Chains A and B, each alone.
Chain A
């Protein structure tokens, strides 16, 4: 069992390493990700201007930016394989589970990298007050895990369609709705300074969403990936 797990980790790690190497040479996903995030952020900051926003509005803006940036960037991992014809080479080399895990890790790191850029920028431009910064980090992390877990399998489905990237937000939105509502609520609680105990139901929903979506994705990915 341990040997198998280690082998999975090594194989998924190889895929992650390959994707990062290719990504930093082509900036295929990162550019669309960052462009969308920064543009939206600037538009929001201009629109809001000097007005005071309450924590609910800040939380909503943060997750709208994260959601649409993710939709712009995360679909690329599979679309690129499909468009460049490398999908056969990959299919013939490893199991669907390894591919899901490798792509999930790549998407997660990419999303966290973008969050590292846009969250400080958001606070710089819009200056919301944060009552519990640690809770905010945990909510962002759990929300990102659920968002990535769902988007990874959906982008594999979308990569086989003709319209590809445009389809992802449409497919993802209904599935991600519970996650987005909970993440917005959790972020609001963090901004208002609530404790971990008071935000425990949000944290439980976010953790459960991630575990359920990742488990279901691992079980179903074989059917999505194979023709």
Chain B
């Protein structure tokens, strides 16, 4: 059983508190939606959870069947999609996925990468350079990248950004599939997404306080 705990997470920049003492527990099959106005720290919180930046204080733990997963192996259990994350534009989509498979030390083959591209509806453009992609196509490729290692926890920062209707449906499908085997934490400003995905909702305000719905 997967258990994710945010324990009193606080972040400040040069003494200015972004948010403080965020506590939340998330179980397998759930989706936590982080919402709040611009500048409330949604993206910062997701980056802390991804291990990309350090919190000022507090802890984030993932445990499976009571066993705590080590911090240094966190990347093996996390998938991250964010507007701040870019893939290699001078490589094709397939080359990108193959590179990340190899650099992760996974055994998956080219067929696996093609299957993932098909899942995000990019199979026809798998051989094109990512630099030639539209922003929506790049967003889809980020999902393929995040799902490459079948993570337990999917962290999604504005997942519906730049996506058309088909893309939105794809996000919905990915989130519901992810909830079958793990959990999802996503941040959004869109009230429709909050209502659609939010099994648990964490609202941040500009004063650095958080409210749990």
A84 touches B103 (CB 8 A): no
Q: Which of B28-87 contact A (CB under 8 A)?
A: 50-54, 72, 75, 78, 80, 82, 84-87
Q: Which A residues are in CB contact (< 8 Å) with B99?
A: 14-15, 17-18
Q: Does A1 contact B (CB under 8 A)?
A: no
Binds A, one of B88-96, B113-121, B162-170, B203-211: B88-96
B90 touches A26 (CB 8 A): yes
Complex CA–CA separation, A18 to B100 (angstroms): 10
A92 touches B105 (CB 8 A): no
Q: Which A residues are in CB contact (< 8 Å) with B95?
A: 18, 21
Q: Which of A15, A89, A91 has the most CB of B within 10 A?
A: A89
Q: Does A40 contact B (CB under 8 A)?
A: no
Q: Which A residues are in CB contact (< 8 Å) with B91?
A: 18, 21-22
- Give, as a whole number of angstroms, the nearest-CB distance from B105 to chain A: 5
Are A11 and B102 CB-contacts (below 8 A) given A89-B85, A89-B86, A227-B52?
A: yes
Complex CA–CA separation, A84 to B78 (angstroms): 22
Q: Which of A77-118 contact B (CB under 8 A)?
A: 84-86, 88-95, 98, 102
A88 touches B75 (CB 8 A): no
A22 touches B84 (CB 8 A): no
Q: Which of B99-114 contact A (CB under 8 A)?
A: 99-100, 102-105
A84 touches B80 (CB 8 A): no
Count of residues in A whose CB is under 8 Å from the partner chain: 27
Q: Quick one: closest A residue to B80, CB to CB?
A: A92
B105 touches A11 (CB 8 A): yes
Interface SS of chain A: helix
Q: Which B residues are in CB contact (< 8 Å) with A215?
A: none
Q: Which B residues are in CB contact (< 8 Å) with A17?
A: 99, 102
Q: Which B residues are in CB contact (< 8 Å) with A90?
A: 103
Q: Does B19 contact A (CB under 8 A)?
A: no
Complex CA–CA separation, A91 to B103 (angstroms): 11
Q: Which of A132-170 contact B (CB under 8 A)?
A: none
Q: Which A residues are in CB contact (< 8 Å) with B89?
A: 84
Q: Which A residues are in CB contact (< 8 Å) with B105?
A: 7, 10-11, 94
Q: Which A residues are in CB contact (< 8 Å) with B50?
A: 88, 92
- Give, as a whole number of angstroms, the nearest-CB distance from A155 to chain B: 19
- In-complex Cβ contact of B75 among A7, A25, A85, A93 (8 A): A93
B88 touches A22 (CB 8 A): yes
Q: Which B residues are in CB contact (< 8 Å) with A85?
A: 84-86
Q: Does B143 contact A (CB under 8 A)?
A: no
Q: Quick one: closest B residue to A8, CB to CB?
A: B105
Q: Quick one: closest A residue to B99, CB to CB?
A: A18
B86 touches A14 (CB 8 A): no
- Give, as a whole number of angstroms, the nearest-CB distance from B45 to chain A: 15
A92 touches B52 (CB 8 A): yes
Q: Which A residues are in CB contact (< 8 Å) with B84?
A: 85, 88
Complex CA–CA separation, A18 to B98 (angstroms): 10
Are A92 and B86 CB-contacts (below 8 A) given A14-B102, A18-B99?
A: no
Complex CA–CA separation, A21 to B72 (angstroms): 29
10 example contacts (A-B, Cβ-Cβ < 8 A) are as follows A13-B102, A17-B102, A21-B91, A21-B95, A86-B88, A88-B80, A89-B85, A89-B87, A94-B104, A226-B54
Q: What is B's interface to A at a CB cutoff of 8 Å?
A: 50-54, 72, 75, 78, 80, 82, 84-91, 95, 99-100, 102-105, 145
Known: A11-B105, A93-B75, A94-B75. 16 other contacts (CB 8 A): A17-B99, A18-B95, A18-B99, A22-B90, A22-B91, A25-B90, A84-B89, A86-B88, A88-B52, A92-B75, A93-B100, A94-B104, A95-B72, A102-B103, A227-B52, A227-B53
Q: What is A's interface to B at a CB cutoff of 8 Å?
A: 7, 10-11, 13-15, 17-18, 21-22, 25-26, 84-86, 88-95, 98, 102, 226-227
Closest 9 CB pairs of A and B: A14-B102, A85-B86, A22-B90, A14-B103, A88-B85, A18-B99, A25-B90, A94-B103, A227-B53
